[in-house]
Amino acid sequence: MNEEEKEQIKKEIEEEMNKKKKKHRFLKGFLFGAGATILGNVMKISIIGLGYVGLTSALCFQRLGHEVIGVDMNPNKVSLINEEISPINGYTIPLDMRFKATSNIKEAILNSEISFICVQTPTTKGKLDLSYLKKACKQIGEAIKKKKHHLIVVRSTIFPGSYEILKKIIEKSSEKKCGKGFDMALNPEFLREKTAIKDFFNPSYVVVGAETKEIGLNVLECYKGIDAKKFIVKLEVAQMIKYLNNSWHALKISYTNEIGRICEELKIDGDKLMALFCADKKLNISEKYHKIGSPFSGSCLPKDLAVLQNNINKLKLNCPIIQSISKSNEEHKRKWKK
């Protein structure tokens, strides 16, 4: 065997090893999202803000076959992403989900047709800080001045009323009117930090808030290949749904823990009790009792609730949620009568 033949065999072995290495890294980081299908038009997407939500969105949109460019003002984060290294500890960037990152927001806007704003919206004593969002919207507005059209989607969590504030900022900095030169929409995220990529590809639903159905459909085009219910709703609903979801989850956890404290005092297996509770999918874990309307009444609910509250007091326990249910119902009665 001459040197040329040896070199050829060596090259073939290296190519095969690289293929296996790439496949292994891909499976390690993405197996849980393998059910997604690449469908629909290829969209040119820019992601503004590369924290958990932005990074996940960028990776997953790229996996769906779209062209993605990520933007972050932190140059170290941008450098790491471009070197295919995750800027977030414990987060893997699979090979076939990599994308380009930059700190130049204008470059990203000019090279995309739709932007998802994923910057942080921190809170201080319950007050929502929109400063990062306002800055991003101002920069986006300045970048689209000479563009014929751009679609801007707010993915960050905002409270009802915030959308109008952001829209006015973009209108002022772009010297355009929303609906003429640019459109806006909302796309609330429901990603948990530890399972963000899995949640993206396996959501309960995809929600888009938009002024028109056409705008909503343009946003949903990015989600072609995601097998989930998709809703186009009013802007106010899209702003409120995340707060409804998370307050409900917090309530469930806190209520369940109150039941757990009662069970502990009564020497009852709380886990088995909750398993029995969750086995009822017709009433307990269902759409029942989730219609906004009249306060609860009748014989069973008030009577049994009163007995439970009385025994909580006897046990000298502090269960503020259960103990406040009657008060909340009385307040609703007063409002309901009006």
| 3 state SS of 56 | helix
**CA–CA separation, 101 vs 82, rounded Å?**
6
> Where would I find the H helices in the chain?
3-30, 52-63, 75-82, 105-110, 131-143, 162-174, 196-201, 213-220, 235-265, 270-278, 300-314, 320-337
**CA–CA separation, 323 vs 313, rounded Å?**
9
From 118, 222, 278, 300, the catalytic residue: 300
Radius of gyration of the chain measured on its C-alpha atoms: 26
**CA–CA separation, 48 vs 37, rounded Å?**
25
Active site includes 137? no
| Residues found in the chain | 338
CB 183 within 8 Å of CB 153 = no
Q: What are the catalytic residues?
A: 300
